[in-house]
Amino acid sequence: MILGPSDTITFLVALLKRISRDNAPEAYVLLLAQLAHAKMILGDDEGARVDIEESSKVIDTLDGVETTVHAAYYGVAADYYKV
């Protein structure tokens, strides 16, 4: 069974609903970054922007964020602003 790009979005959105922004903020940001990246691939730049802005808000509230979380956020944000 081959999954299409829209299946990826559906899966990531379903997973995002299961992760709490308050209890696992870093996982939430990582997932939002992946979701934004998938949306950009599908041409949904507005949806990607919304996810990037949400990620930024969460990161701003955290102290001592892991470098992998920063890398995921800044990677997708840089790709977005290139477009």
Provide the pLDDT for residue 29: 94
Query: Residue 1: is its pLDDT beyond 70?
Result: no
pLDDT tens digits, 28-74: 999 999 999 999 998 999 999 999 999 999 999 988 888 999 899 99
Residue 62, phi-psi category: left (phi > 0), alpha (psi -120 to 50), beta (remainder): beta
Are 28 and 19 in contact by the 8 Å Cβ rule? The answer is: yes
- Specify the pTM: 0.87
Q: Whole domain around residue 77: which residue ranges?
A: 5-82
Into how many domains does the chain fold?
Answer: 1
- Residue 24 CB partners (closer than 8 Å, separation 6+): none
Q: Give the model confidence (pLDDT) of 5-32 as tens digits.
A: 778 899 999 999 998 888 899 999 999 9
Cβ neighbours for 81, distance < 8 A, ≥ 6 positions apart: none
